[in-house]
Every structure is written in structure tokens, then in C-alpha cells.
Structure 1
Amino acid sequence: MIAMALLTGCGGTADRNGAAPASAAASAPVSAPASAAASPSEPAAVGTATADGQGSPGADPAASAPADAAAGPNAADVSFARKMIPHHLQALDMASLARTNAGDQWVRDLASRLAETRDAQVRELKGWLDAWGEEPLPRDQPMPGMQSAAKIAALAKASGGAFDRMFITMMIEHHKGAVALARSERNGGAFDGTKAMADSIATTGAAEIAEMKAYLAKLK
């Protein structure tokens, strides 16, 4: 399938997990005389950041470190990336069928839009997993919204209006599962990259579900 080839070929150029900032040095006691020199066993006083953000000599490196480099991936981030790849690959399989089997141009256009977004996200997710030494879950892993092999086979045999109705119904269920996974990542994740993707999936997914429900209502 197209999606399987995509998984093996995607490399991803996304940002790798950021390093945690060095801990700040303790400042000298306020009550110490101004002229007193710090003893070898005492840490030097930490400088303050200037208006231009560069910091004075001896400034704490953590004070000027980029905020988005603070957190590396936690278990929730890794789990999200491992799950979303096979989840997106099934959506890509369904979108590929729509290009040839759909009866309505609107369905074909929707499928193309979904495929473009998920293709880019799979590549990014694969890049993160490569950096973390992890692999995606198997394609047949049970997850929210995933359609059974029997349903995918039935979709592949359908065409025209019957395909359109089946595709939209299945894709709504699939989207709901993706949104659920994304919300879980937003609540428990730590890595900026996966959390930002989860935000996008949750927001865009909710809008697309509403769009597909409105279309499905017109078919009935």
C-alpha cells in the first residue's frame, strides 16, 4: 500500500528533543558586605539580564535560554508518536481509495486535503521517533477510531455514492479517535513538537468532523 511505502521512506527533519537548561548558580547572601570577596567554596553571584536580553557577564545561562528548548520527550510524547503514525497511515489508505472510488468531487477533494496533512505529519513523527530510538506501533494495533480490516476491504469494493457515504462515516469515526489521542497528548505530554501537533490535530479534526457531518446529512 501507498501508506506502507510512506512509512519506510519518511525521514523527518523536525526539531529533536531539546536539552534541559543548566541549573542556576546560587547567588551570594544579601547580608554579606559589598566588599567581601567570595570564598573558593562559595558560588559566585549571578548576574542580571540586560534590556537587550543578552545578560551581564556572569549571567545565569538558564535565564536567557530559549523556553522551547527546556523539555525533552516524556512517555506520553513517545506513546503519542508511536500511535499516530499507524493511525494516520490508515487514513492515508482510505484517502487513496477515495481518489479512484469516490463519486463526488467534494469527497475526492477532502481526501486529498487529508492525505497532504497526514503525509507531512507522519514524516515529522517518524523523525522524532528515529531521534528517540523508538518505532511506530504495528499497523493492526487497536486504537480509538481505527477501522477493522473487514471495513477497509468493504470500502475498497464500494464506488460512487455508496463509497462516499461509507467513506465519510468511517472517516468521522477515525477523526474522533485521532482527536482523542491528541487531547491525551495535550494533557500529558512535555515535548513542544508533539504537543503543537496534538493541538493542530485536535483543532483541525474537530472542524473536519463538523464539515463531514454536514455533508453526510445532505446524503440522507
Structure 2
Amino acid sequence: MRTAVRTAWLVVVLALALVAAGCAAETPPPPAPAADDVGFAAAMMPHHEQALELSALVRGRSTDPEVTDLAFRIDREQVEEAGQLRGFLALRGGAPTMPMTGMAGMADAATLDRLRASSGPAFDRLWLETMTAHHEGALTMARQYLAGPPGALTDFARAVLLSQQAEIDRMRAALARP
């Protein structure tokens, strides 16, 4: 009888070990790390705010209808996107404060001062150069975000790539004119 009980226990232990081994083999791998949605949104907010500041400088300084139209379109787009970012961040309890210095494409204080002090064709050229670099910085940020795992802002980042690349193309064409 003892041998039968031992054998039964041994069979049960082996069966449990096989079941546990099978379950371990079927356990899915841990999920990929979540995209840094909040970090991306928090970095894009000051970037959008400066684009709005740059667009506001055009009124009363530009003599080029193309620059005026671009600034208007950029302003409308950035206002909408900034609202989306604010809403996203509010749903996640706010956002960390991001320094504007050192961020891709951000205009420095000296460039902003030169823009404020200029007008006419000199302003238009500097504005186009500054806004082109600014948008290129946003493209860099969007590409870095999209290089990671998909996140809640994947569609937003793709839209930034499309719209801002189109605006960069328009600004480069304006800069290429005599």
C-alpha cells in the first residue's frame, strides 16, 4: 500500500510539474515598454507655443502675401494641435515642465529679437528660415517618437510629419524665389 501511495504521489507531482512547465512555455512575453506619450506631448507643447509666437510676429512686419498666408495657416494648425495636446495632458494629470532651450528647432532669443526688430523682405527671409528650422525640429521630435513602440499619439505624430513637411516645402519654395 505504501508503494502505491508513493507511486500515486510521484505521478501527481510529475503531472503538476509537466503542467507547470507547459504553462510557463505558453506565458506570453512581457509587453513592450509603453510609448512616452506624456513626454512627447509635454515637449511638443512649448514647441507649438513658439510656433504661435513666430506666426504672431508676421502681422505688421511682412510684405510678402505668401509669408502672411503661411503664418495664418501655421497659426490655425498649431492652435488646434496645441488644444489636442493640452487635452491629452489634462487627461493624464498634467505635464512635466519642459525647458524650451536645447529643444530641436527652437529659435533662440537673439533670433527672436532680430525678427522683432525687422520688417519687409529682411523679416520675410529671416522668418521663413526660422520657421523652416522650427518645423524641421518638430519633424525630428515626431520621428523620434514614432521610432518607439506605438502609442496614444501615433496618429498625431504622423499628422505633424505630413502637415509640417508640406509647410516646409512651401517655405523653401518661397525662400528660393528671387
TM-score, length of structure 1 as denominator length: 0.63
* 1:218 and 2:177 correspond: yes
**Paired position in structure 2 for 1:87:** 47
**Paired position in structure 2 for 1:60:** none
1:94-173, aligned counterparts within 5 Å? 94-135=54-95, 137-138=97-98, 140-173=100-133
- Aligned-CA RMSD value: 1.9
The structural deviation recorded for 1:189 is 4.7
The structural deviation recorded for 1:191 is 2.8
- Unpaired runs of 5+ residues, structure 1, are 1-72
Residues in 2 aligned to 1:208 and 1:184: alpha-carbon distance in whole angstroms:
20
* 1:206 and 2:165 correspond: yes
The structural deviation recorded for 1:95 is 0.2
Residues in 1 aligned to 2:175 and 2:99: alpha-carbon distance in whole angstroms:
28
The structural deviation recorded for 1:147 is 0.7
Counterpart secondary structure, 1:169: helix
* 1:196 and 2:150 correspond: no
Residues in 1 aligned to 2:67 and 2:97: alpha-carbon distance in whole angstroms:
29
Residues 47-85 of structure 1 show CA distances to partners (whole Å, capped at 9, x for unaligned) of xxxxxxxxxxxxxxxxxxxxxxxxxx9352111100000
Residues in 2 aligned to 1:101 and 1:139: alpha-carbon distance in whole angstroms:
28
Residues in 1 aligned to 2:149 and 2:169: alpha-carbon distance in whole angstroms:
26
1:171-182, aligned counterparts within 5 Å? 171-182=131-142
Residues in 2 aligned to 1:202 and 1:212: alpha-carbon distance in whole angstroms:
15
Whichever structure has more helix as a proportion of its residues is 2
CA contact (8 A) 1:81 1:136 kept: no
| Cα separation, partners in 2 of 1:75 and 1:137, compared to 1, 3 Å | farther
Structure possessing the higher radius of gyration over alpha carbons: 2
Residues 86-124 of structure 1 show CA distances to partners (whole Å, capped at 9, x for unaligned) of 001101001001122111111111000000000011111
Partner AA of 1:215 in structure 2 = A
| Cα separation, partners in 2 of 1:136 and 1:174, compared to 1, 3 Å | farther
CA contact (8 A) 2:55 2:72 kept: yes
Counterpart secondary structure, 1:190: coil
CA contact (8 A) 1:172 1:212 kept: yes
The structural deviation recorded for 1:183 is 1.0
Query: Higher relative contact order by CA 8 Å / sep ≥ 6: 1 or 2?
Result: 2
- Unpaired runs of 5+ residues, structure 2, are 1-32
CA contact (8 A) 1:102 1:159 kept: yes
Aligned residues with identical type, % of pairs? 37
Residues in 2 aligned to 1:129 and 1:141: alpha-carbon distance in whole angstroms:
21
